Amino acid sequence: MRVAIIGAGSLGALFGGLLAHAGEDVTFVVRGANLHALCANGLIIKRLTDEELHLEVSATADPGEVGPVDLVWFCTKTYDLYAAARQCVPLIGPETLALTIQNGVDAPDQVAAVLGGVGLLGGVVLGGASLVAPGVVEQRTPRMPMHFGEIVGGSSARVDQLHPTLLGAGIDSAISRDVRCESWEKFILSCAALGLSSLTRLPYALIFACPETAELAEGIMAEAEAVGQARGVVFESGTVERLLQLVRSVATTTPAARGSMYLDLVEGRRLELDAINGCSRAHRPRGWRAHPLKFCRLCSPAPVYPRNSASRLTLSAFDPRQSCELGELVRTPTSKQWQRMASAQR
What dotted CATH number matches 181-302? 1.10.1040.10
Nearest to residue 186, comparing CAs of 129, 260, 254? 260
* Per-domain boundaries in the chain: 2-177, 181-302
pTM over 0.85: no
Secondary structure (3-state) at 25: strand
DSSP secondary structure, 111-170, as one string: HHHHHTTSEEEEEEE-S-EEEEETTEEEE-SS---EEEEETT-S--HHHHHHHHHHHHTT
pLDDT digit string, tens, across residues 140-157? 888 899 999 999 888 899
Provide mean pLDDT across the span 12-21: 97
pLDDT > 70 in the chain, percent = 83
Q: How confident is the model at residue 293 (pLDDT cuts 50, 70, 90)?
A: low
Angle at 331 between CA 325 and CA 332, to 5 degrees: 115
- pLDDT, residue 2, reads 98
- In CATH, which superfamily holds the domain spanning 2-177? NAD(P)-binding Rossmann-like Domain (3.40.50.720)
Provide mean pLDDT across the span 301-307: 40
Mean pLDDT, rounded, of the chain = 84
Q: Residue 167: pLDDT above 80?
A: yes
Q: How confident is the model at residue 200 (pLDDT cuts 50, 70, 90)?
A: confident
Does 2-177 match 181-302 in CATH topology?
A: no
Q: How confident is the model at residue 48 (pLDDT cuts 50, 70, 90)?
A: confident
Q: Residue 329: pLDDT above 60?
A: no
- pLDDT, residue 267, reads 86
Q: Residue 198: pLDDT above 80?
A: yes
- pLDDT, residue 314, reads 30
- pLDDT, residue 283, reads 77
- pLDDT, residue 199, reads 86
